[in-house]
Amino acid sequence: MATNNDAYRQLANWLQRTIAAAAGESASFEADEAEGDSVTTDSGPRGFHLRFYRQLPDFVMTLLQHPGDAHALMPYTALLYHLAACPDCHATYLDLYRALHPTLEADHMLPPMEYGVRSLSAIPAESLVHVCRSLIGQAEAVLRQGRRDDADGSAQARSLLQLAMRFSTHITQPGMRGAALADLVRVATLFDGPHSPGEEPPAAHSYSPLVGAAGPRHGSRVARRGGAIARSQPAPSDAPAIYLQARHLEGSITQQGDMLELHLHDLDAALRGRSLLISIPLGGLIEPVRWQGGDPRAIRALAPVSADGSLRAPLGTTDLRLALPEERNLLEAMFMLIEVRPAD
Full DSSP string of 64-81: HHSTT-TGGGGGGHHHHH
Q: What is the pLDDT of residue 218?
A: 47
Question: How far is the C-alpha of 145 from the C-alpha of 139, rounded, in Å?
Answer: 10
Q: Is 9 inside any structural domain?
A: no
Q: Does residue 55 sit in the same domain as residue 89?
A: yes
Report pTM: 0.65
Q: Does residue 148 sit in the same domain as residue 294?
A: no
Which residues lie across from 246 on neighbouring strands? 249
Q: What is the pLDDT of residue 333?
A: 93
Q: Does residue 25 sit in the same domain as residue 156?
A: yes
Mean pLDDT, residues 172-200 taken together: 77
Q: Is 207 inside any structural domain?
A: yes
Does residue 20 register a pLDDT over 80?
A: no
Q: Is 10 inside any structural domain?
A: no
Q: What is the pLDDT of residue 59?
A: 85
Domain closes at, from 137, 165, 188: 188
Query: Which of the pair, 311 or 199, is modelled with greater confidence?
Result: 311
Q: Does residue 156 sit in the same domain as residue 271?
A: no
Which residues lie across from 261 on neighbouring strands? 254, 314
Name the residue type at position 132: C
Domain closes at, from 173, 188, 203: 188
Does residue 109 register a pLDDT over 60?
A: no
Percent of the chain with pLDDT over 90: 32
Q: Is 225 inside any structural domain?
A: yes
Q: Does residue 175 sit in the same domain as residue 48?
A: yes
Q: Does residue 181 sit in the same domain as residue 214?
A: no
Q: Does residue 170 sit in the same domain as residue 57?
A: yes
Name the residue type at position 302: L
Mean pLDDT, residues 77-106 taken together: 74
Mean pLDDT, residues 84-94 taken together: 78
Q: What is the pLDDT of residue 300?
A: 95
Q: What is the pLDDT of residue 104?
A: 57
Q: Which residues contact 4 (CB under 8 A, 6 or more apart)?
A: none
Query: Which of the pair, 117 or 86, is modelled with greater confidence?
Result: 86
Q: Is 287 inside any structural domain?
A: yes
Domain closes at, from 188, 215, 246: 188
Mean pLDDT, residues 60-74 taken together: 81
Mean pLDDT, residues 62-88 taken together: 81
Listed ranges 2-11, 174-183, 212-221; the one with the highest mean pLDDT: 174-183
Q: Does residue 256 sit in the same domain as residue 214?
A: yes
Query: Which of the pair, 231 or 86, is modelled with greater confidence?
Result: 86
Per-residue pLDDT tens for 259-279? 999 999 999 999 999 999 999
Structural domain containing residue 53: 19-188
Question: How far is the C-alpha of 232 from the C-alpha of 251, rounded, in Å?
Answer: 16
Into how many domains does the chain fold?
2
Q: Does residue 73 sit in the same domain as residue 210?
A: no
Does residue 132 register a pLDDT over 90?
A: no
Per-residue pLDDT tens for 205-240? 999 998 655 544 444 444 443 333 333 333 334 689
Q: Does residue 236 sit in the same domain as residue 166?
A: no
Other beta carbons within 10 angstroms of residue 159's beta carbon come to: 17
Does residue 100 register a pLDDT over 50?
A: yes
Mean pLDDT, residues 195-206 taken together: 70
Q: Does residue 169 sit in the same domain as residue 286?
A: no
Q: What is the pLDDT of residue 212?
A: 56
Q: Does residue 231 sit in the same domain as residue 159?
A: no
Q: Is 343 helix (H, G, I), strand (E, B) or coil?
A: coil
Q: Is 141 inside any structural domain?
A: yes
Mean pLDDT, residues 51-72 taken together: 79
Would strands 249-256 and 242-246 be described as parallel, antiparallel, or unpaired? Answer: antiparallel
Query: Which of the pair, 71 or 219, is modelled with greater confidence?
Result: 71
Does residue 107 register a pLDDT over 60?
A: no
Q: Is 2 inside any structural domain?
A: no
